[in-house]
């Protein structure tokens, strides 16, 4: 049964304390007069009536889980409270008075909508009934990483942002943002923890797949289009707010290591290219992004203090607030304050450069730096202590609370935070959205090579019905295009689907989700691939979540194509000529690991003699 919220007064919108009234005689409860007041007036009125504890609860946005049936997550009796993924929803909403949550996990769209309504009911029972803002990492692509993206069944499926950059069509990026907006709205999500405006200047960095590639101008166009797709031309009741990340650009990680981990804490600029990484953020500001997330890392060898960006007053106040004039919400990346566990293993706070500080002082530094909200934390009591001991002023807290309240009002959450589960089931992943996403997957396919060394004609497109040997492709899907055979001896052509390599030594716990380190295949990994390419003309399709080093495979393949998240159908539509590929490489493919290591982390496409240059991509006749 669908959960339908009962009509209830939301006292917060009635400054005189009067409940909602049936203004039109139609049984619909509406707030008395308050909806008609200017937003700034509503914010000021509510701010005056909030206690310090209620304000403190607003400054934290942590993870919240969902049950598959759409019910709220509550711990079993006697269960440990150390796992934030199983924290009590009621304790966070009615105890800690929090009303911003990052949805972790998924359920069917109908159940997600029902969950939203239950959560809003719970929040409405608090003294002021402040509605909840639900946020999410990307849900509409293939990769599932608990720190970066949540592949969600029932939503339309798109290539990773690299694929949109490969197509280079700003209108496609805007359309994707708009479709995501409609799917998020249907289930109650009002804040997108995307786009990533970072640049893929360091090929080994595990987060490359979430970027729009290595070129700042291309990324700027894509970022601006994505923001406009989510928010429209101005933030309003039908918008999903965009939190653009990770300011001031997270790409130039030392040795390509990730800043989730202590060995990846440093961000470096050996090419003196700091300003290049700001270009996509400047486009996000122009597009009106509502929020900004600073990165974990600490800058090394720059004019800025060597402390993590979330603690960095030079960057948040000096650069973001003062130089760029950004007056929107600044929310830190997740988990800067509290050591915890993830998947049963210790996971230290990402307090890079502030490791020596206690939790209270870390929060003080974050607030002093100019951030409004702490991501991945649930400790309002620390804000209360800072104010009551005089270390942070009440006025400073009010400044951030006002920004957060204003966004809730502008989004219309105070007036109606509920969604229709029936509509959610109809909207999310509907036939139109699915078809557009599938077409985008095919369009982003990048043809790198299409001619066997000893042939005079290209291999692609393949002839329908050809005898096909396939690895990494679902046989029933392949059978819609070709005669599928099970041995190389029977085949006219082979298709292999492979992925960019990574260091297999990082195979346990949270680190295993971050495909880091080497980009080249070992001899043992190459052997089975080359055995196929020598036996029969072979199309090799490689998933480029990072810039693979593949000279031997490129030489041996009859045709070589790249994808950035594409289903078997999307790929085969291209290989058999049903859809034209439009992709061009969103970063160069280096010829060797030596050239990768010799490159500057902050400079795009600077390897010597790349195997395939930035922008390379063939077009099929």
Which residues, including other chains, have CB under 8 Å from residue 47's CB and lie 6 or more apart?
55, 398, 401, 402, 405
Bond from prior residue into 195 cis (ω within 30 degrees of 0): yes
**Cα separation of 375 and 334, whole Å?**
4
If we measure between CA atoms, which residue out of 5, 37, 6, 10 comes closest to residue 21?
Answer: 10
Q: Based on the number of CB atoms within 10 Å of its own CB, is 344 exposed (0-12), middle (13-18) or buried (19 or more)?
A: exposed
**DSSP 3-state percent helix, strand, coil across the chain (nearest 5):** 35, 15, 50
Q: HEC profile for 479-547?
A: CCCCEECCCHHHCCEEEEEEECCCCCCCCCHHHHHCCCCCCECCHHHHHHHHHHHHHCCEEEEEECCCC
* Two structure tokens written together for 595: 């050239």
Element (H, E) at 111: helix 109-124
- Catalytic residue numbers, as ranges: 333
* Two structure tokens written together for 602: 């902050």
Q: What ranges make up the beta strands (E) of 158-285?
A: 191-192, 241-247, 266-268
615: left (phi over 0), alpha (psi -120 to 50) or beta: left
Which residues, including other chains, have CB under 8 Å from residue 143's CB and lie 6 or more apart?
149, 151, 160, 209, 545, 565
CA atoms in the 13 A half-sphere facing the CB of 1: 3
**Cα separation of 53 and 59, whole Å?**
10
If we measure between CA atoms, which residue out of 296, 405, 368 comes closest to residue 58?
Answer: 405
412: left (phi over 0), alpha (psi -120 to 50) or beta: left
Cβ count within 10 A of residue 448: 22
256: left (phi over 0), alpha (psi -120 to 50) or beta: left
Strand partners, 342: 345
Q: Please, are residues 362 and 349 in contact by the beta-carbon 8 Å criterion?
A: yes
If we measure between CA atoms, which residue out of 289, 326, 327, 334 comes closest to residue 403?
Answer: 327
């Amino acid at each position: 049964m669908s959960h339908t919220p009962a009509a209830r007064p939301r006292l917060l919108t009635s400054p005189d304390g009067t409940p909602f009234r049936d203004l039109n005689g139609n049984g619909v409860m509406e707030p008395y007069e308050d909806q008609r007041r200017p937003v700034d007036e509503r914010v000021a009125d509510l701010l005056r009536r909030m206690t310090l504890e209620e304000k403190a609860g607003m400054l934290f946005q942590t993870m919240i889980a969902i049950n598959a049936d759409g019910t709220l997550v509550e711990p079993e009796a006697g269960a440990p409270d150390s796992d934030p993924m199983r924290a009590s929803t009621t304790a966070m909403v009615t105890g800690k008075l929090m009303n911003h949550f990052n949805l972790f996990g998924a359920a069917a769209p109908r159940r997600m909508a029902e969950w939203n309504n239950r959560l809003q009911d719970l929040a409405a029972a608090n003294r002021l009934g402040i509605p909840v803002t639900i946020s999410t990492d990307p849900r509409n692509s293939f990769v599932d990483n608990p720190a970066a993206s949540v592949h969600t069944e029932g939503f339309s499926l798109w290539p990773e942002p690299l694929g949109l950059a490969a197509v280079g069509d700003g209108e496609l990026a805007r359309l994707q943002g708009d479709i995501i907006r409609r799917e998020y709205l249907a289930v109650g999500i009002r804040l997108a923890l995307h786009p990533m405006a970072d640049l893929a200047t360091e090929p080994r960095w595990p987060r490359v797949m979430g970027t729009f590639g290595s070129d700042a101008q291309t990324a700027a166009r894509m970022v601006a289009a994505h923001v406009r797709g989510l928010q429209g031309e101005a933030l309003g009741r039908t918008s999903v707010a965009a939190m653009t990340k990770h300011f001031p650009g997270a790409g130039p990680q030392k040795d390509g290591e990730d800043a989730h981990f202590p060995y990846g804490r440093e961000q470096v600029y050996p090419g003196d290219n700091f300003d290049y990484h700001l270009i996509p953020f400047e486009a996000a500001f122009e597009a009106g992004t509502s929020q900004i997330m600073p990165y974990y890392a600490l800058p090394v060898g720059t004019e800025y203090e060597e402390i993590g960006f979330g603690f960095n007053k030079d960057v948040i106040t000096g650069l973001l607030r003062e130089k760029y004039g950004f007056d929107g919400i600044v929310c830190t990346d997740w988990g800067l304050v509290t050591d915890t566990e993830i998947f049963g293993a210790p996971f230290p706070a990402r307090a890079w450069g502030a490791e020596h500080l206690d939790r209270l002082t870390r929060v003080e530094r974050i607030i002093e730096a100019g951030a409004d909200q702490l991501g991945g934390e649930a400790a309002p009591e620390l804000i209360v202590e800072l104010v009551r001991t005089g270390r942070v002023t009440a006025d400073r807290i009010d400044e951030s609370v006002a920004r957060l309240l204003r966004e809730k009002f502008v989004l219309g959450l105070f007036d109606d935070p509920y969604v229709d589960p029936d509509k959610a089931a109809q909207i999310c992943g509907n036939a139109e959205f699915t078809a557009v996403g599938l077409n985008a997957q095919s369009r982003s396919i990048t043809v790198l090579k299409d001619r066997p060394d000893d042939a005079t004609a290209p291999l692609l497109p393949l002839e329908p019905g050809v005898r096909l040997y396939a690895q990494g492709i679902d046989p029933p899907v392949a059978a819609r295009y070709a005669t599928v055979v099970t041995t190389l001896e029977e085949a006219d052509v082979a298709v292999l689907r492979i992925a960019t390599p990574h260091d297999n030594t990082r195979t346990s716990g949270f680190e295993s989700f971050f495909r880091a380190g080497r980009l080249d295949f070992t001899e043992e990994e190459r052997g089975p691939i080359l055995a196929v390419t020598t036996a029969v003309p072979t199309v090799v399709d490689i998933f480029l979540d990072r810039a693979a080093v593949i000279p031997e495979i490129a030489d041996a393949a009859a045709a070589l194509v790249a994808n950035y998240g594409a289903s078997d159908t999307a790929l085969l539509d291209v290989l058999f000529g049903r859809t034209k590929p439009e992709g061009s490489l969103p970063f160069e493919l280096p010829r060797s690991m030596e050239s990768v290591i010799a490159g500057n982390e902050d400079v795009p496409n600077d390897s010597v003699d790349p195997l395939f240059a930035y922008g390379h991509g063939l077009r099929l006749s």
